[in-house]
């Protein structure tokens, strides 16, 4: 092999190490970056601004729907339009840096990479007067120096899970919105653009955003929340994602439905396995083989920032109390649950349920009950921000928590004739 060939191979390997390999791991695989968040709902983010023509209209639309977002601003544009940066802050939105210049990472030398990221942070912090934590490189692309700069300055690289390619003027607002709706899920991060791209493209973005602000809560039943990243280890994040995938599969397989964007409860129908549930008048409301409604706690909405099991129970009861009127109204209007007489759940979080109108009934300890208890403890470990330091020894064994449909509607529904 000639020295020229060897030299070319070395050059190729250096280029791969500088461009493709960092981009593969960070951008494509998400290792070392945040491609999603770890709280209920969906986060909206906007790149390439600010823009004096489109950013104010975008802010007005977000205000109209009472939604907060994160704006990743290009440093040189922020310096050009500082009043827009201040307006974004004033309206309660978060800010991140989208580099000083909008240039692809693969086209920047190591020294330029370091220089423009230092300048981007410096520019935005000077304009805002506040430290900037979140960063997103243009096109989400990385080179080796980008990675080293992030690690050196301890900044969080935030990517996305859903994009509409709204920078392309050929895409209609409906196409942009539908592409995002097809991909979005719990914990998703949406990227749109209030500047850059083809001339006039942000006008389509505004129209697509209006569709998304309506349909994400109504159709997907997901809240739109500000970006929030926990102080979790990589292992905790991986465990969370794997368990979340399992829960998503389980909910789909068993037709467990969300009620709205905020309810603590999800609901399904199951064939009851016993023991008999007997009302105050002695009537058997459910026995083995009957079809009943089953209540499930939506674990992503039960991420309680406590370390004591009793405090977790109290917070869960508070969330349940706020969710029960919505649940009762949903059941009162639902044809699917018209013939259901009782709603049940098997849960470790059963203390205080009587105060909400539920019956709490012991269940014979069986391998299935122990299995459910173990799964629920795993769930609490996965979703709890303190991970394995969380204390769950006081939770005991699962118990059946149940309520008749009549009692549920009478106590909690604003639509029931018995209310």
Active site residues: 47, 193
Q: Are 92 and 104 in contact (CB under 8 A)?
A: no
Which residues, in sequence order, are CB contacts of 72 under 8 Å at separation 6+?
45, 46, 47, 48, 95, 96, 97, 98, 134, 135, 136, 158
Q: Report the alpha-carbon distance of residue 170 to residue 198 in Å, rounded.
A: 9
The DSSP secondary structure of 209-232, one letter per residue, reads HHHHHHHHHHTS---B--------
Q: Report the alpha-carbon distance of residue 221 to residue 419 in Å, rounded.
A: 27
Helix (H) or strand (E) holding 259: none
296 token code pair: 């499930």
Selection from 410, 257, 388 nearest residue 332 by Cα: 410
Q: Is 242 helix (H, G, I), strand (E, B) or coil?
A: helix
């Amino acid at each position: 092999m000639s020295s020229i060939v060897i030299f070319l191979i070395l050059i190729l390997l250096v280029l791969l190490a500088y461009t493709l390999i960092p981009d593969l791991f960070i951008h494509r695989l998400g290792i070392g970056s945040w491609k999603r968040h770890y709280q209920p709902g969906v986060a909206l983010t906007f790149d390439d601004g600010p823009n004096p023509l489109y950013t104010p209209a975008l802010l007005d639309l977000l205000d109209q729907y009472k939604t907060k977002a994160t704006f990743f601003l290009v440093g040189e544009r922020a310096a050009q339009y500082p009043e827009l940066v201040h307006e974004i802050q004033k309206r309660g939105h978060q800010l991140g840096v989208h580099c000083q210049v909008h240039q692809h990472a693969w086209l920047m030398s190591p020294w330029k990479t370091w220089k423009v990221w230092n300048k981007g942070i410096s520019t935005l912090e000077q304009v805002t007067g506040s430290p900037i934590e979140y960063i997103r490189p243009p096109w989400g692309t990385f080179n080796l120096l980008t990675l080293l700069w992030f690690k050196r300055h301890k900044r969080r690289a935030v990517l996305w899970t859903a994009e509409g390619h709204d920078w392309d003027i050929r895409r209609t607002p409906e196409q942009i919105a539908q592409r995002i709706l097809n991909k979005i899920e719990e914990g998703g991060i949406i990227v749109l653009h209030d500047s850059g791209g083809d001339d006039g493209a942000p006008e389509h973005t505004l129209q697509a955003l209006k569709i998304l602000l309506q349909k994400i809560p109504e159709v997907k039943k997901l809240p739109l929340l500000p970006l929030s990243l926990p102080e979790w280890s990589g292992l905790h994040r991986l465990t969370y994602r794997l368990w979340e995938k399992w829960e998503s599969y389980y909910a789909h397989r068993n037709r467990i439905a969300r009620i709205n964007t905020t309810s603590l409860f999800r609901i399904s129908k199951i064939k009851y396995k016993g023991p008999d549930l007997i009302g105050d008048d002695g009537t058997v409301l459910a026995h083995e083989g009957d079809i009943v409604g089953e209540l499930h706690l939506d674990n992503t909405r039960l991420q309680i920032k406590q370390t004591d099991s009793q405090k977790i129970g109290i917070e869960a009861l508070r969330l349940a109390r706020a969710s029960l009127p919505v649940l009762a109204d949903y059941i009162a209007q639902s044809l699917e649950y018209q013939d259901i007489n009782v709603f049940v759940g098997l849960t470790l979080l059963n203390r205080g349920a009587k105060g909400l109108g539920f019956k709490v009934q012991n269940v014979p300890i069986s391998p299935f009950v122990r299995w459910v208890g173990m799964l629920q403890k795993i769930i609490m470990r996965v979703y709890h921000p303190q991970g394995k330091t969380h204390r769950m020894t006081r939770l005991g064994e699962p118990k059946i928590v149940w309520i008749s449909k009549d009692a549920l509607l009478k106590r909690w529904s604003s639509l029931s004739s018995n209310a």
